[in-house]
Each structure stands twice: as C-alpha cells, then as structure tokens.
C-alpha cells in the first residue's frame, strides 16, 4: 500500500487557493488550483501545496478538491487567517481586473519534510510570483525550488505584489517560463532592457537567467514557444468568450501534460492553445467539462 504521506505525483503546484468573487457570483480559483484542476482533468496526477482558513470558504474548497480528485496531501489549514478571496471585474479587451485580499491563509504556507520529499521526486514544480508576496510563503517557495527537478515559473504578475529583486530570484530558479506580452514589458523595464524585437527580448531573458524554455502567450493571437532548438508559433482560435478567468492556467496545464508525455513542441503548443480557447468559452477558471469534449475540440481544429 502507498505511504499516505508520500505521493510522488508528476506535478506539484505551489501557491494561492481562493475564491474569485466575480460580478455574477463566486468561483473557485487561484492559478495553482486552476492548473491542478485541468491537469487532473487530463489524467496527470497533481498535488496542490497551499493553505486555507478554518472557515466555510475553506471547507467548500476542500470539498471541491475531493470531487475533482486533486490530492490534498499538502493542503494546510490556518487557524488564524481566512481563506483567500479576490474581487474580480471585467476590464477592457475581455481582460479581468483583480483586487487581491491580503493577508490570507495562502500567505502563510509552511514547508515540512513531507513536502520536501515529495517535491524531490516530482517531475514538475509549478510556481508564480504572487505566492511569494508574503515572507512566510516566499521562504517556503524558495526552499522547495531548490528541490525541483524541472521548475516552471508562470510569472503571473499582479501589482503591487512584486519587485525587481524578487522577480530576479524567481526567474533564476526557472527551467521553463510562461509569460504574456504585457509581463515581458514589465520584466524588461525592471531589467532596464530596451530591446524591441521579441526574439531578442526572449534571448536576453533566457541568457540572463539560464532559462531553457519560454512560452509567450498572446491571448486571441495564440502563443509562441522558444526552446533550446527552435521557435514555434500557433495562432489563436476564434472563440465566443464567456470570460478569460483561468484561460492561461488551463493553457499551462495542457502544455505541461503534453510536455510530460514528450510530444513534439508544435503539438504541445497546439493542444495548449486549444485548451485555453475552450476554457475562454466557459465560466470561471475551473469549469465543468469532459476530457472527450477537449479532445473533440482539438480534432475539430485539425479539420479547419
């Protein structure tokens, strides 16, 4: 029988778990939870390292994780701080604006030997900058990053919760970086780099931080994937957008799932773009769908 304190899943996601308070009601969210949700949908066992409050909101998130099959091995309970909440509203261009409550339970994620042992055996360790906004979770993240075999940084910049020194540390730990176009501009401005060509910008970031792979997401215009051996671009898929909450997270989940299966770069990117497009047509970051729906969506794109 498997040791209940040792899971050795392929993927571990570190960071925020919370409720997105949307204009039409609350939805479960937080980038790490969203990524874990979609990876689980794709049959890639995933563990979430996070922290909830001892409150009704935390209990509801626990129940959802049970229903979705996301392992709670490293989900912590905080006796003092409340479960995370984010006030979200639509902004220009189908984007979302967020007011992130602070401090909350996921700002106080702790590390123990159990977490270290599991992360050491995992294939991917996924993290972002937001989870490092408070010193407790930041120190835990930095400790675990030293044990990750393949660290995936979804930079996820949310003003005002980042600064140059922290970003440099987090980028320096990454093997793969996921970033959108506006985040590239912020990073380059912080680094006092005025390169205008995207390839030159990415080459600069890769060289400065010794990052092997970079994904640049471009919303409705698809994404570009920079590897050590080539550059791949996949155009966006026309979709009737419901909201864009969690689209980037679903993209990353599909990307990691097929990266884990060692598919060819262009195939990985196509399937990731398809997932992001599919989820854009649904409500919230963790909408209900069947794996068969996603696979049929991919097949449909191949015939267009």
C-alpha span between 34 and 72 (Å, rounded): 14
What's the confidence (pLDDT) of residue 7?
61
Kindly give, in sequence order, each residue whose CB lies less than 8 Å from that of residue 263, ignoring residues fewer than 6 positions away: 271
Confidence of residue 189 (pLDDT cuts 50, 70, 90): very high
What value, to the nearest 5°, has the Cα angle with vertex 32 and ends 28 and 38?
75
Q: Provide the 10 A C-beta neighbour count for residue 27.
A: 21
Residue 113 reports pLDDT greater than 70: yes
70 pLDDT more than 50 = yes
State how far the Cα of 74 lies from the Cα of 71, in Å rounded to an integer.
8
Integer Cα distance of 74 and 115 in angstroms? 7
In this prediction, residues 229-247 reach a mean pLDDT of 93
Residue 17 pLDDT? 98
pLDDT at 161 (0 to 100):
87
Work out the pLDDT band at 67, boundaries 50, 70, 90: very high
More confident residue, 156 or 39: 39
Question: Looking at residue 206, which CATH number applies to its domain?
Answer: 3.40.1190.20
Least-confidence region, from 10-19, 65-74, 88-97: 88-97
Domain-embedded: residue 182: yes
* Within-domain flag for 61: yes
pLDDT attached to residue 284: 86
> In which residue are the tokens 């977490």 written?
115
Q: Which of 27-31, 81-85, 155-159, 259-263 has the lowest mean pLDDT?
A: 155-159
- Quick check: helix, strand or coil at residue 246? coil
Q: How far is CA 106 from CA 100, 162, 174, 249, 251, in A?
A: 12, 16, 22, 18, 23
Is residue 225 a part of any domain in this protein?
yes
Residue 240 has what pLDDT?
93
| 18-32, 53-67, 80-94, 208-222: least confident range | 80-94
| pLDDT confidence bin for 90, thresholds 50/70/90 | confident
Band (244; pLDDT cuts 50, 70, 90): confident
Does 269 reside within a domain? no
Q: What's residue 147's pLDDT?
A: 97
DSSP state of 131: G
Average pLDDT over residues 19-32: 90
Does residue 163 belong to any structural domain of this protein? yes
Cα 89 to Cα 122: distance, rounded to the nearest angstrom: 36
Q: What is the mean pLDDT of residues 228-247?
A: 93
What residues contact 83, with CB distance under 8 A and at least 6 apart?
17, 18, 19, 52, 53, 55, 57, 58, 61, 104, 105
pLDDT of residue 22: 79
Give me the pLDDT at residue 115, please.
Answer: 95
149-175 residue pLDDT tens:
999 999 988 888 889 999 999 999 999
Domain presence at residue 1: no
- List the domain range (segments joined by +) for residue 90: 11-236
Phi then psi dihedrals of residue 206, to 5 deg: -60, -45
pTM of the model: 0.94
Residue 89 lies in a domain: yes
Residue 118 lies in a domain: yes
pLDDT at 91 over 80: no
| CB neighbourhood size of 30 (10 A) | 29
pLDDT at 93: 67
Angle separating helix axes 181-190 and 164-172, nearest 10 degrees? 110
- Element containing residue 61 per DSSP (H, E): helix 56-68
Number of folded domains that form the chain: 1
For 142, the enclosing helix (H) or strand (E) is: helix 135-145
Residue 202 token pair = 């990415």
What pLDDT score does 162 carry? 87
In the 3-class helix/strand/coil scheme, how is 77-115 assigned residue by residue?
EECCCCCEEEEEEECHHHCEEEEECCCCHHHHCCCCHHH
Listed range (6-10, 50-54, 106-110, 117-121) with the worst mean pLDDT? 6-10
Q: Does the pLDDT value for residue 3 go beyond 50? A: no
- pLDDT given at position 4: 41
* pLDDT of 1 higher than 50: no
**2: pLDDT strictly greater than 50:** no
Q: Would you give the DSSP letter of residue 178?
A: E
């Amino acid at each position: 029988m498997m040791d209940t304190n040792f899971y050795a899943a392929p993927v571990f996601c570190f960071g925020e778990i919370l409720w997105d308070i949307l204009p039409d009601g609350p939805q479960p969210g937080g980038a790490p939870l969203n990524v874990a949700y979609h990876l689980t949908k794709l049959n890639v066992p995933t563990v979430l390292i996070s922290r909830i409050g001892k409150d009704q909101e935390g209990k509801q998130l626990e129940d959802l994780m049970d229903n979705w099959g996301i392992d709670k091995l490293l989900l912590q309970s905080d006796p003092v701080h409340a479960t995370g909440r984010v006030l979200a509203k639509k902004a220009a261009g189908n984007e979302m604006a967020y007011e992130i409550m602070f401090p909350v339970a996921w700002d106080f994620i702790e590390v123990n030997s159990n977490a270290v042992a599991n992360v050491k055996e995992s294939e991917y360790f996924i993290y972002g900058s937001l989870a490092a906004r408070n010193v407790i979770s930041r120190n835990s993240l930095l400790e675990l990053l030293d044990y990750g075999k393949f660290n995936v940084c979804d930079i996820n910049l949310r003003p005002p919760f980042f600064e140059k020194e922290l970003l440099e540390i987090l980028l320096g730990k990454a093997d793969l970086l996921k970033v959108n176009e506006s985040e590239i501009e912020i990073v380059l401005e912080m680094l006092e780099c005025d390169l205008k060509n995207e390839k030159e910008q990415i080459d600069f970031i890769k060289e400065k931080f010794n990052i092997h792979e970079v994904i640049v997401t471009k919303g409705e215009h698809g994404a570009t994937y920079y590897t050590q051996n080539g550059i791949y671009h996949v155009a966006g898929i026309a979709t009737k957008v419901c909201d864009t909450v969690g689209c980037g997270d679903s993209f990353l989940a599909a990307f990691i799932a097929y990266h884990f299966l060692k598919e060819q770069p262009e195939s990985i990117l196509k399937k990731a773009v398809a997932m992001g497009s599919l989820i854009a047509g649904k409500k919230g970051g963790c909408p209900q769908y069947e794996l068969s729906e996603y696979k049929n969506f991919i097949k449909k794109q191949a015939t267009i």
